[in-house]
Amino acid sequence: MNFKLHKSTRKRAGSSQKKSDFLPQPDAAQRQLQAARSQLLVYAKDLKQMLEKEEKKTHQLKQAHAQLLTYAKDLKLALDAEQHKNTELEQSYTDTMLRLARASRYKDEETGAHIERLSHYAKSMAVNIGWEPARAQGLFAIAPMHDVGKIGVPDAVLGKQGPLTDEEWESIKQHPLLGASLLSGSASPLLEMAKEVALTHHERWDGSGYPCGLKGKQIPVTGRIVMLCDLYDALRSRRPYKLAFSHVKTIDIMLNGNERTKPSHFDPNLLEVFREMHHQFDEIYSTVQETKEPLRK
């Protein structure tokens, strides 16, 4: 009996000893808590430093953004001023060329009405082939400069009533080159278009024109348009060597040809557009008049 009691006591004592092995000792728990606290402090310090860096970077970005806005504002003001200056220069140069164009017509048989009508014809055709309004308006503005080179042709040649000699005709054929020279040297797209027209408005689709004998699409479309419009008005107008033709006679010549004018002289696409909208040309001619001229039926 005593033996059993002793054995039971030993078992209880053994059981109690094994449970205590799984419980953390006070010193070990303190060390673990201290280590965790220290690690959290390190993380907190790193996080604070990271946030401070981000705040500093954000502040720098805001400063840079504000500076860029200032630069952009200053640049816009500078560009606006430069654009205004360029616009004034372009307008001044354009006005000068238009004055030269008007001066040149006094040396030739052309009238102010011819120059005005040419602008309207060219714009009307440009719109009918699908140009944007701004581009068509640009062609309207520069079309009167097409013959500005005639300012350099001798008066005796331009005003001659009889047939021209070969030498005189060669002198006349130089006016596109003279006009292009007068209009060159500008960065303005408008004046570049004017130069293009001045140089090529006597070129023909079949290559029989002057001064360079360009053919087909070698001729800028601006030159092709003004060439057709100029020829229409020349046929409608009286000249020393011819009476003014009626609209019906003029479109017949342009579409079917005569001894001087051939359909092959024109861009076929433009000629087809002209066939469809020629009544607009007639309306322009009838509206913009200086004097009534006898019509040749």
Q: How do the domains of the chain map onto residue ranges?
A: 88-296
Q: Report the C-alpha dihedral over residues 75, 77, 83, 87, rounded to 10 degrees.
A: -170
Give the Å distances, CA to CA, from 64 to 51, 55, 71, 167, 232.
20, 14, 10, 70, 62
Q: Which of 33-37, 98-102, 120-124, 271-275 has the lowest mean pLDDT?
A: 98-102
pLDDT above 90: residue 95? no
Q: What is the pLDDT of residues 44-68, one digit of tens each?
A: 888 888 888 888 888 887 887 777 6
| Mean pLDDT comparison of 39-53, 145-159, 180-194, 271-285, highest-scoring range | 271-285
What is the pTM assigned to this prediction?
A: 0.68
**Domain 88-296 superfamily per CATH:** Hypothetical protein af1432 (1.10.3210.10)
